């Protein structure tokens, strides 16, 4: 029985981690930390947990974390993990970091997008990008996992088969992404008020979102050549879920059926990626509250444009579910434990 903790337990990804870990037969949730003056039961913060756990949430201290945990999830804002990870690593705890801090390989890129110099190159080198469908074996041996961003997860899983097979132009990728509001975290801002968002839809940060370099980096690895991605996110008037429509230019003369086969083979044996039958679109309702990423395919034959639709729950496969999937690999539990 592994003892696991969550630092940053009060946000939406923290809540999903708690929900999933309480069902996990091989781990015990032993430690919850957040920026609080006094400890309080997590069931005061999230009343849905009344009757399920009496665990208190307290101010983070290294001593307590080390004493209580074998493995720690960090559900902290970007740039904050940078100061916590080295301390935990020094004490030999395993860490799964849900922030962007250990995802970006290039420190210049990190600094440009997150406005802070990277101060922990040692651990950055040891970290493994936690997308199990691509890096399973490395994750098994990892001591520090950089859990992928929500937008990048859907984008990478959506593009991987054709990029790896070299049958699309890596220089010409358009990602039209749509996300529910929980993707922005648990925030008291007018912008996310239901009074502002009911029935609304808008774009934001077109070709300027901080997830773009992460997508760029990972797709470049897959394509084994520098990719060109235009990433345009939009805000859906829903609580959760990400849907990305990805436009890729075929460089080979392949039928949609052939491409579909390619995807099916690429994800054969993968529990959490489901390739839809041709003619069907993924839907948020089929993936929300689950760890699945559903992928649908279409093609405009005359223009040889492949259209990939990729959908996931931003808080589960896009964050906490994937983090637990990574944990399962790291602790030797079956990969799907607590996730089905």
Task: Just list the catalytic residues.
Answer: 150
Distance CA 218, CA 155 (A): 10
Question: Does 121 engage in binding with a second copy (CB under 8 A)?
Answer: no
- The residues that bridge with 129 in the sheet, in sequence order, are 146
- Kindly state the smallest distance separating residue 94's Cβ from a second copy, in Å: 27
Rounded to the nearest angstrom, the gap between the alpha carbon of residue 125 and the centroid of all alpha carbons in its chain is 20
Task: Return the residue matching tokens 């984008």.
Answer: 155
Residue 212's CB: how many other CB atoms inside 10 A? 21
CB within 8 A of 194, min separation 6: which ones? none
Cβ distance to a second copy smaller for residue 144 or 338: 338
Q: Looking at beta carbons only, is 123 or 233 nearer to a second copy?
A: 233
Size of interface with a second copy, in residues (CB under 8 A): 75
For residue 186, the minimal CB distance to a second copy (Å) is: 7
Quick one: tokens of 33?
């930390």
Q: Which of residues 228-257 bind a second copy (CB under 8 A)?
A: 228, 230, 232, 234, 236-241, 243, 245, 247
Q: Which two tokens stand for residue 111?
A: 């600094």
**By CB under 8 A, residue 180 contacts a second copy:** yes
For 264, counting Cβ atoms within 10 Å of its Cβ (0-12 exposed, 13-18 middle, 19+ buried), the class is middle
CB of 289 to a second copy, least distance (A): 7
**Residues of span 282-311 touching a second copy by CB under 8 A:** 282-290, 292, 296, 298-300, 302-303, 305, 307, 309, 311
101 close to 78: Cβ distance less than 8 angstroms: yes
Provide the token pair at 94: 């395993």
Distance CA 326, CA 322 (A): 6
The contact mask relative to a second copy for 143-162 (x = CB under 8 A, - = no) is --------------------
Q: For a second copy, which is the closer residue by CB, 69 or 316?
A: 316
Scanning residues 268 to 287, which ones bind a second copy (CB under 8 A)?
Answer: 271, 274, 276, 280-287
Among residues 52, 68, 79, 210, which is the contact residue for a second copy, using CB under 8 A? 52
CA-to-CA distance for 5 and 107, rounded, in angstroms?
28
> Which CB sits closer to a second copy, 7 or 284?
284
Range 189-228, binding a second copy (CB under 8 A): 189-190, 192-204, 206-208, 228
Determine contact, residues 246/175, Cβ cutoff 8 Å.
Answer: yes
The CB-of-161 to a second copy minimum distance in angstroms stands at 18
Smallest distance, Å, CB 187 to a second copy? 7
């Amino acid at each position: 029985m592994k003892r696991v903790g969550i630092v940053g337990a009060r946000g939406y990804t923290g809540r999903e981690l708690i929900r999933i870990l309480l069902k996990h037969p091989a781990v015990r949730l032993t430690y919850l930390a957040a920026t609080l003056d006094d400890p309080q039961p997590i069931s005061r913060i999230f009343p849905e947990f009344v009757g399920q756990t009496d665990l208190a949430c307290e101010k983070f201290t290294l001593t307590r974390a080390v004493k209580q945990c074998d493995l720690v999830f960090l559900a902290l804002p970007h740039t904050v993990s940078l100061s916590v990870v080295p301390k935990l690593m020094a004490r030999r705890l395993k860490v799964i970091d849900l922030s962007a801090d250990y995802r970006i390989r290039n420190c210049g890129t990190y600094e440009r997008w997150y406005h802070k110099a990277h101060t922990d190159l040692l651990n950055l080198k040891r970290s493994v990008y936690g997308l199990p469908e691509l890096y399973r074996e490395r994750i098994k041996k990892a001591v520090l996992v950089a859990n992928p961003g929500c937008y990048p997860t859907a984008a990478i899983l959506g593009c991987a088969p054709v990029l790896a097979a070299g049958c699309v132009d890596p220089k010409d990728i358009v990602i039209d992404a749509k996300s529910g509001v929980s993707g922005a975290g648990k925030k008291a801002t007018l912008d996310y008020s239901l009074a502002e968002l009911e029935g609304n839809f808008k774009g934001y940060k077109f070709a300027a979102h901080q997830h773009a370099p992460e997508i760029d980096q990972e797709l470049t690895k897959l394509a084994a050549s520098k990719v060109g991605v235009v990433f345009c996110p939009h805000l859906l008037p829903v609580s959760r879920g990400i849907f990305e429509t990805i436009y890729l230019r075929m460089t080979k003369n392949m039928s949609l059926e052939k491409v579909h086969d390619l995807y099916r083979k690429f994800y054969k044996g993968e529990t959490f990626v489901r390739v839809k039958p041709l003619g069907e679109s993924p839907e948020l309702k089929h993936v929300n509250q689950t760890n699945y990423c559903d992928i649908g395919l279409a093609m405009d034959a005359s223009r040889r444009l492949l259209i990939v639709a990729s959908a996931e729950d931003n808080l589960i496969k896009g964050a906490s579910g994937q983090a637990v999937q990574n944990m399962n690999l790291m602790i030797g539990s079956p990969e799907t434990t607590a996730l089905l």
